[in-house]
Amino acid sequence: MFADSAKIIIKSGRGGDGHVSFRREKYVPNGGPDGGDGGNGGSIILEVDPGLNTLVDFRHRRKFAAENGEPGGKRNCHGKNGADLVLKVPAGTILRDAATDKVIADLSGGNMRQVILKGGRGGMGNQHFATATMQAPKYAQPGQPAMELEVRLELKVIADVGLVGFPNVGKSTFLSRVTNARPKIANYHFTTLNPNLGVVDLDQGQGFVIADIPGLIEGASQGVGLGHEFLKHIERTKVMIHMVDAAATEGRDPVADIYAINKELKAYNPSLLEKPQVIAANKIDAIYDEQESFLPKLKEEFEPQGISVIPISAVSGQNLKELLYHVNHLLSTVDETPIVFEQEYFPELNVFENEPYTVEYEPKEDVYVVEGPKIEKMLGYTNIDSEKGFLFFQKFLKEQGILESLEQAGIQEGDTVRMYGLSFDYYK
């Protein structure tokens, strides 16, 4: 069965503890400390496997954990590092935090591999803590704890063109005629359950990938039926083909159908309606009375809105080339950059979720100093030189209450704030 979502628990490896020991050699009565460092814990890594096209491997196993690092030993022996756990996923997989639904990683575009949870760092042995006044330290550093997170894997198919329409309008027949896909075709009154992908080859090396998005029904955006499961696959597409039954063989009104589907698209994600659309008025081979044809109504309703209506027959092949070349033209007018969802959630920051931070004013330097483990981590994982990174950093400061703490400390516009070597002027 096609599986395009799964909820799992992932856990990185714990860092091994540092060791406490002292040299014990003949003729060396007071040997110094020789406790070795603990090994680093293994990380959880997501990696694209081109041979996969579903998430079925995650349906029957719920917990995934990397190896823990081993503790250090005597005689400066370093503990063994825990092995990383690499989870193979199909291209187009999005990883979200299950609690907040925020994006952790999007394995598409050029992002083929990403570390999701870093393993805990191994603790230092007691040899590192010897000083002139403390030559025999009897303590070592414990390893960093593991990170555990419940996440949701979601597969959004990567296609240039989305083919949408109510069930039984001929989408599967169309896809089988114009691509290398081989969907099951029959006169079903229920929808195809799997998104079908096919490649359209045109002249001079041109072409595109088209996805038959399973038939939508009214209420899909509220999750009626399998609405959300299907609508998510449209988000990466750049052009949409609305396929309707122009012959109304089942008594449906194709004009009303298009408005119904657009309503669902808007309710799910308003930006979907900004994508270029074309209407494929299918089944013209079944129109026997021109006066009962919906073609004039479709053209009258949608062409003034800038949406072309192209009459086709998926069965006979009539006008299919015209439709495909029109779609190819629409693709040439949109941005070719792959649609990749940006990271919104950083698991590393939540290790220090309950750690305090300090906001202090230093009158000598006339600066407000903000410090804390979580802030230091945030600066390490964010490129604040970029506009998006800086906006994300500002959002972080607001959500953590740091801006409010600065205002309570008496900061004014134009005052300087310093955070671990980073200085900037404060403005509301």
Contact 54, 194 (CB under 8 A): no
Res 185 pLDDT > 60: no
pLDDT of residue 204: 73
pLDDT of residue 80: 93
Res 358 pLDDT > 80: yes
For 246, the 3-state DSSP assignment is coil
Contact 223, 213 (CB under 8 A): no
pLDDT of residue 69: 94
Q: How confident is the model at residue 226 (pLDDT cuts 50, 70, 90)?
A: very low
Res 172 pLDDT > 70: yes
What residues have CB less than 8 Å from 165, skipping those under 6 apart?
171, 215, 216, 242, 243, 244, 257, 261
Average pLDDT, the chain: 80
Q: How confident is the model at residue 277 (pLDDT cuts 50, 70, 90)?
A: very high
The pLDDT of 31-36, averaged and rounded, is: 83
The pLDDT of 383-390, averaged and rounded, is: 69
Query: What digits encode the pLDDT tens for the residues 317-334?
Result: 888 889 989 998 998 888
What residues have CB less than 8 Å from 182, skipping those under 6 apart?
176
User: Which is more confident, 240 or 172?
Assistant: 240
User: Which is more confident, 159 or 6?
Assistant: 6
d(CA 417, CA 407): 12
* C-beta neighbour count of 259 within 10 angstroms: 12
pLDDT of residue 194: 57
- Alpha-helix residue ranges (DSSP H) falling in 368-410: 373-381, 387-399, 402-408
What are the structure tokens assigned to 32, written together?
């110094």
pLDDT of residue 427: 75
Burial class (CB in 10 A: 0-12, 13-18, 19+), 335: exposed
pLDDT of residue 190: 38
Res 418 pLDDT > 80: yes
Query: What digits encode the pLDDT tens for the residues 136-167?
Result: 788 888 888 888 999 999 887 777 888 888 87
